[in-house]
C-alpha cells in the first residue's frame, strides 16, 4: 500500500480570490451594506453576482465602475429647497 506524498497534494483552489463580499465592499467604500443592496435592487452601482444568499463583486468590475463614476467637475445634489 502506498501513501500519498503530502508535499505532492495540490493546494485547494481559492475560487473567490478575485471576488469580494458585499460586506467587504461596503467597508472599503465607507458605505453600509444596505446601500449596496439598494443599489443592486435599482440596478445601480457596480455589477455583482449572487451565490445563494451571498452577493459578490469582482474586484476588476468594481474598479472599472469607480473609474466610470469619475467626473471632472462633480455636481452637488442640493438637499431641500433651492
Q: Where exactly are the structural domains of the chain?
A: 17-64
The model's pTM: 0.72
Q: Report d(CA 23, CA 44) in Å as an integer.
A: 17
pLDDT tens digits, residue range 1-59? 556 665 667 777 888 899 999 999 999 999 999 999 999 999 999 999 999 999 999 99
Checking if the pLDDT of 76 tops 80, the result is no
**pLDDT for the residue numbered 51:** 93
- CATH number assigned to the domain with residue range 17-64, chosen from the 4 options 1.10.10, 3.40.1000, 2.60.40, 3.30.1460: 1.10.10
**pLDDT for the residue numbered 73:** 81
38-54 burial string, b = 16+ CB within 10 Å, else e?
eebeeeebbebeeeeee
Amino acid at each position: 500500500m502506498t501513501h500519498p506524498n503530502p508535499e505532492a497534494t495540490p493546494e485547494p483552489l481559492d475560487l473567490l480570490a478575485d471576488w469580494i463580499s458585499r460586506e467587504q465592499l461596503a467597508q472599503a467604500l465607507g458605505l453600509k451594506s444596505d446601500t449596496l443592496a439598494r443599489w443592486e435592487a435599482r440596478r445601480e452601482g457596480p455589477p455583482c453576482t449572487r451565490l445563494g444568499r451571498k452577493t459578490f463583486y469582482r474586484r476588476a468590475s468594481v474598479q472599472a465602475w469607480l473609474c466610470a463614476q469619475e467626473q471632472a467637475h462633480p455636481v452637488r445634489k442640493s438637499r431641500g429647497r433651492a
